[in-house]
Amino acid sequence: MKEHRLVRPRQEQQHERALFEAILALRTLDDCRSFFRDLCTPAEIQALADRWAVVEYLERGVPYREIHQLTGVSVTTIGRVARFLTSGHGGYRTVRERLKESA
């Protein structure tokens, strides 16, 4: 988080909520792709995609070093994803379960 910002915490929460509501308004994969390409740099999109790829490998029990070899994602980032997968806010699990249900 940027600490030098002039935005108050309440405003920050409102901006975050507005972003999440904007994401919920997306209806198609193409809508989503266009929105994220406008919102994020290519490196940011790649970082998000890499983390999402790591989730599947972790759920299959693939060791960190092997995930690193397969994806190029650092072992530190893999560990971070693993920590949030097991004791985060439940977002990874919610999406994985919903994707399984719709498959």
Are 56 and 85 found together in one domain? Answer: yes
Do the Cβ atoms of 53 and 59 come closer than 8 Å?
A: no
pLDDT at residue number 94? 96
Are 51 and 24 found together in one domain? Answer: no
Closest CA relative to residue 35, chosen from 17, 19, 47:
19
Are 82 and 97 found together in one domain? Answer: yes
What is this structure's pTM?
0.86
Residue pointed to by tokens 């990874």: 92
Are 47 and 68 found together in one domain? Answer: yes
Q: What is the extent of the structural domain holding 17? A: 1-39
pLDDT at residue number 53? 97
pLDDT at residue number 103? 84
Say how far apart CA 99 and CA 4 lie, in whole Å: 38
pLDDT along the chain (103 residues), means of 10: 73 95 98 98 97 97 98 97 96 94 90
Are 59 and 81 found together in one domain? Answer: yes
pLDDT at residue number 58? 97
